Amino acid sequence: MQEKIKILAINPGSTSTKIAVIELDTQAQDSSKEIIPVFSKNIKHSLDKVHEFARIADQYKWRKEIILNTLQENNINLSEIKYVIGRGGLVKSISSGIYKVNESMKHDLLIGYSGEHACNLGGLIADDIASSLHIDAFIADPVVVDEMTPIAKVAGHPAFERKAIFHALNQKAIARVYARQINKKYEELNLIVAHMGGGISVGVHEKGLVIDVNQALNGEGPFSPERSGSLPVIDVIRACFSGKYTEEELNKMIVGKGGFVAYLGTNDALAIENRVKAGDKEADFYESAMAYQIAKEIGAASTVLEGKVDAILLTGGLAYGKGFVEKISKRVRHLGPIFSFPGEDEMNALAFNVLLLLKGEIPLKEYN
């Protein structure tokens, strides 16, 4: 096996496409030298151009050409790339892991099997580029990773079921990073991982499986900088039939204009933290309320593990706020040791999955 291998990682967003060329050293003795950034670029797309396409899936050939042009302009030799990995999309619910892109997956990404989102383009673009280079394309840990137990899916009425849509890529990567730091296998540990960003998900990781997690996208768990989280259901039903709001306005209340945006007029957590430091009591109150709800969710997660918690891991952009982390920690430190992993680096998380595959630490899975 080659010691150093270059890969291309692709992470499409609604109006941007992040790309990175990363070198993996499978023989490195120091874990900090296993993943080496070579080149990265956040390519911005105008809303006008994006709106020219009837469906998100129609954008993938256009975005692919932009990626190839950007790599060429920056003198990236594609012949040196050995693997391409894209951000996983809204495919069928699957178990965690790294998957080779195949025809079934491409079909489900194209039709938007579980919904339309820019992340669906990741696997499509990765496969197109990889095919031209005669190499393999992968996705890893898409947001629809589902390892929940049957009892965790019971919602309270047979017409409804709890679903797993969460920050699987970052949660799994951080859990594995922590396990390596303490010379343990991820599959040996019971962890609670709280991803705290634009959305907030708190996952119960039992021996390598996320057996329970709040549906972080549209209406479950703590409120976040721009999402409302769980709301009083009867009051929501009344709002739906009040005639005061359109369906689009109600959707925006849940995702986009909820949380900090609704209470404080911004989703900028750093700006709110600065307001707290400056003595803004309203900002402090709602930041404390978010920390309270996250801590409460972590406490609930600990009951799933029957109190057998090896560690609580706090990650995502909000974990940069030391005061915010302390507001959470003071409520949950009795449950287990707390470790902070600030930020969300999808590109390194994607690269990490390829590294683990090449080192034989995780298997390659087939999507069907």
Common-topology check for domains 4-145+346-366 and 168-342:
yes
pLDDT digits (tens, 9 = 90+) for 129-181: 999 999 999 999 999 999 999 999 999 999 999 999 999 999 999 999 999 99
pLDDT digits (tens, 9 = 90+) for 283-337: 999 999 999 999 999 999 999 999 999 999 999 999 999 999 999 999 999 999 9
- Give 3-state DSSP helix, strand, coil % of the chain, rounded to 5: 45, 25, 35
Mean pLDDT in residue range 29-42: 91
Q: Compute CA distances 294 → 96, 194, 195, 284, 312, whole Å.
A: 24, 8, 10, 15, 12
Domain boundaries, the chain: 4-145+346-366, 168-342
Going through the chain in order, the beta strands assigned E by DSSP cover: 4-12, 16-25, 35-44, 81-87, 98-100, 136-140, 190-196, 200-206, 209-213, 311-316, 338-342, 364-366
pLDDT digits (tens, 9 = 90+) for 222-233: 999 999 999 999
- Class in CATH terms, 4-145+346-366: alpha beta
Identify the bridge partners of residue 81 per DSSP, sorted by sequence position: 6
CATH topology of domain 168-342: Nucleotidyltransferase; domain 5 (3.30.420)
Mean pLDDT in residue range 85-93: 93
pLDDT the model gives residue 14:
79
β-strands 98-100, 136-140 pairing: antiparallel
Please check the confidence at residue 69 and state whether its pLDDT lies above 90.
Answer: yes
